[in-house]
Amino acid sequence: MERICDLHGHFLPGMDDGCKTPEEAVQVLQCSYRQGVRRVFATPHYYPVEPVEAFLQRRTEAVQRLEAYIQSQGVQDIPQILLGAEVAYRPGLGYEENIEKLCLGNSRYLLLEMPFSRWGKAEEREVRNLGVTGGVIPILAHIERYFDYQDKRTLAGILEQDVLVQMNAEALLDPAVRRQALKLVKRGIVQLLGTDCHNMTDRAPNLDKALAFLQKKKMADAISQIIYYSEEVCGEAMG
């Protein structure tokens, strides 16, 4: 359990709708650490209305402020913080000059938030283009939010490309979607779990409970796969 990293989190204060203060961010980080998580990616939302360089500058400043607070308070027992972004889909994203700078750490993995609509040929082409022109490997964020209303063939066309699929831990815990989420894991569609944590109230870190649920369902292979890909992404990010 301790090897797993959380590659989806909104805890950098002031960056987006996630944590508001360094105190809250530290609580979130300590909570993750208590669950056995030793590395976390800060993945603030990136929207294409902002130049990439300006976003990166804001992110650097946010992480420096947080680290200064951590130092000044002598905070211990928090995971190592790695940098990334949750990049909102837009047509032509694969042609974005600095796209690789939004990847998770030094890796080629890009956490991608797909549009909340029915995907078609344009989205399929765009995802392919991210790999071909952009040179990145998209990780489709929180797949459970889209699955229900997609055209099966288009979805299959996207999933058969060089992509990874992330599910929010919450999907395995929420009784309303748990059964569907479990099906996606059983079908091998999901390689990565993330928390998408935002705070310590309604969107707190919960990887431990999600993994415990998979364990209870005797899904050791799925857990191994999730840990394998988690290490893969983390390893590349730190390389």
State the residues that interact with Fe ion by CB under 5 A. 86, 196
Using the minimum distance from each CB to Fe ion, give the nearer residue, 117 or 215. Answer: 117
Select 84 or 157, whichever has its Cβ closest to Fe ion. Answer: 84
137 DSSP β-pair partners: 109
Q: Rank residues 219 and 229 by Cβ distance to Fe ion and give the closer one.
A: 229
- The CB-nearest residue to Fe ion is 196
**Residue written as tokens 């992509």?**
163
9: left (phi over 0), alpha (psi -120 to 50) or beta: beta
- Whole-number minimum distance, CB 86 to Fe ion, in Å? 5
Smallest gap, in angstroms, from Cβ of residue 2 to Fe ion? 24
Which amino acid belongs to residue 138? P
Determine which helix (DSSP H) or strand (DSSP E) holds 167, and give its type and residue range. Answer: strand 164-168
Nearest approach in angstroms of CB 118 to Fe ion is 21
Q: How far is the CB of 152 from Fe ion (least distance, A)?
A: 25
Residue 82's DSSP bridge partners are 41
H helices present in 192-219, as ranges:
207-216
The residue among 196 and 208 lying less far from Fe ion, judged by its C-beta, is: 196
